[in-house]
Structure 1
Amino acid sequence: MADKIESNGGPMQIDVKLVRDLAKMLDQTNLTEIEVADGERRIRVAREPAPQAASFVATAPMAAPALASIPAPAATPAPVAAAVAPQADANAVKSPMVGTVYLASEPSAPPFVSVGDTVKAGQTLLIVEAMKVMNPITAPAAGTVKAVFVENGQPVEYDQPLIVVA
């Protein structure tokens, strides 16, 4: 079903169901925009990204509860956390693409790595799914997992720090 919507260049046929489906897809995947092209016709649906929580350094194993349920330590001043983050990011493995991160090979499996684990160069740390393709993210060098910045099933952006191996 197509509705006529007037634009500056004259009438344009828009498939309202397609636009609604694309908007629903944005909600389901937590993406901020999606664009579809069919010949010369292009439809782009975008939304403002949700405000991000302040960055933090994860020191707990992957089975830790969600960020919202972690109580903030009362005695730790904020400048200390800010001083640790840049140092941790220097060795951070970053996402090579936009997608969804998975910390294990399947939902019932244990995570590939946890904080404190020793890893070898080339060892799988996690998976980033993009367009139904599972992309293993491997350790660039041998070391110890110092922090994990993402949760299982979380959407990630290009160049977003995922895990620190030092």
Structure 2
Amino acid sequence: MPIKLTDIARLAQILEKSGVDTIEIEEPGQSLKLVVDTGPRMAASAAPAAPAAPAAPAIDHSVIAKADVAGHFLAAHPWRDQPFVAQGQRIEAGTTVGLVKIGLLYAPIVAPAAGTVDAVIAETGATVGYGTPIVRIRPLS
């Protein structure tokens, strides 16, 4: 029985809630590897940072375009030299901001809102999982 996208989304939610970042499922004729971004990780050799002085909480209205599938992030289509988006570029909702390469397939990552590209968070070639932040967008005022 094929794995449905709704099942993948539900599995990713369960993984995230339980603190598990990877699951691999193999059945005859199909396999699924789901990698969930659990946030920044501190290197084992890094010294703990000194506590920062309390500051007023900043309100961040940024919108994040996230990966819908696991694979390798591509900022540009393999046949093109230019990335889909660049920092400072104004984009519309639904604009393709990158691709996730899954084997021979390319899944688009689309902007959830119109705005200005604040940063491309993911690095080209990086392994990304369901929900991995890819591009940060400042909504239009």
Give the TM interval when normalised to the shorter protein.
Answer: 0.5 to 0.7
Distance 1:78 1:87, change over 3 A: farther
1:36 to 23, 26, 45: 26
Select the residue among 137, 147, 157 that pairs with 2:109.
Answer: 137
SS in 2 for 1:87: coil
Paired residue for 2:71?
Answer: 99
Question: How many residue pairs are counted as aligned between the two chains?
Answer: 102
The reply on whether 1:87 has 2:42 as its aligned counterpart is no
Q: Distance in 1 between matches of 2:51 and 2:41?
A: 14
Task: Indicate how the Cα distance of structure 1 residues 78 and 158 shifts in structure 2: closer, same or farther if over 3 A, else same.
Answer: farther
- The match for 1:160 among 117, 120, 132 is 132
Unaligned runs of 5+ in 2: 1-21, 30-39, 43-49
Structure 2 length-normalised TM: 0.56
Aligned 8 A contact 2:64 2:112 in 1: no
In the TM superposition, residue 116 of structure 1 has moved relative to its aligned partner by 0.7
Unmatched tracts of structure 1, length 5 or more: 1-31, 40-51, 55-76
Give aligned-pair identity as a percent.
32
Cα RMSD for the two superposed structures: 3.7
Partner Cα distance (2:120, 2:27) in 1: 37
More helix by share: 1
Q: Which amino acid aligns with 1:113?
A: V
State the structure with more CA Rg: 1
* Bigger relative contact order (CA 8 A; separation at least 6): 2
**C-alpha deviation, 1:107, in angstroms:** 6.5
TM-score by length of 1: 0.49
Residue 57 of structure 1 is matched in structure 2 by none
CA gap 1:153/1:37 in 2 versus in 1, 3 angstroms: same
Structure 1 match to 2:34: none
Divergent runs of 4+, >2 A: 32-39, 77-80, 83-88
